[in-house]
Amino acid sequence: MSGIDELFAAAAQARRQAYAPYSRFAVGAAVRGESGRLYLGCNVENAAYPSGSCAEQNAIGAMIVAGERRIAEIAVLGDAPAPVTPCGACRQRIREFGDAATKIHAGAVSGARRSFTLDELLPEAFGPDALPGANT
């Protein structure tokens, strides 16, 4: 199994746990940290709609609570006609712990896939380097 296949298999596993009763759009995400370890997330919706969270957001949180700080690559999987790319807010979240070259793999349940760099999905990004005084 290739690294990308492994990442999508993990995202599919996470997607099965999605709590998406409102949109019925289940999403799974898998982050590979620099250590090689995988961290999973699914979307978790809420009756107060804006309080819901994205799969990528929760996968990144799992990485952080495990003590890792750098995203090597991330896969996102949903059941849509085209591969599911991260929303704008999640692109920014990936930027915090990645860089312009970080690979984002978008997938659909159909098997369609596309890979991007973060720079392709969030060009001219604002990131931690803009705040040199930050204690990251």
Would you please indicate which residues are annotated as catalytic (active-site) residues? 56
Site for ligand THU in 94-123 (CB under 6 A): none
Dihedral of the CA atoms 107, 108, 114, 118 (nearest 10)?
-50
Q: What one-character DSSP code corresponds to residue 60? A: H
Check: CB of residue 45 under 8 Å from CB of residue 20. Answer: yes
Q: Cβ of 128: how many Cβ atoms within 10 Å?
A: 12
Tokens standing for residue 24: 């019925």
Q: Which of 64, 87, 100, 109 binds ligand THU (CB under 6 A)?
A: 87
Least separation in angstroms between CB 18 and ligand THU: 8
Applying CB under 6 A, the span of 4-12, 31-39, 86-94, 113-121 interacting with ligand THU comes to: 86-94
Q: By CB under 6 A, is residue 84 in contact with ligand THU?
A: yes
Dihedral of the CA atoms 118, 120, 41, 110 (nearest 10)?
-150
Helices (H), 16-126: 55-65, 88-97, 118-121
Q: Which of 20, 64, 108, 109 binds ligand THU (CB under 6 A)?
A: 20
Q: Which of 14, 27, 72, 118 binds ligand THU (CB under 6 A)?
A: 27
Q: Which of 7, 10, 15, 45 binds ligand THU (CB under 6 A)?
A: 45
Binding positions for ligand THU, rule: CB under 6 A: 20, 23, 25, 27, 43, 45, 52, 54-56, 76, 84, 86-87, 90
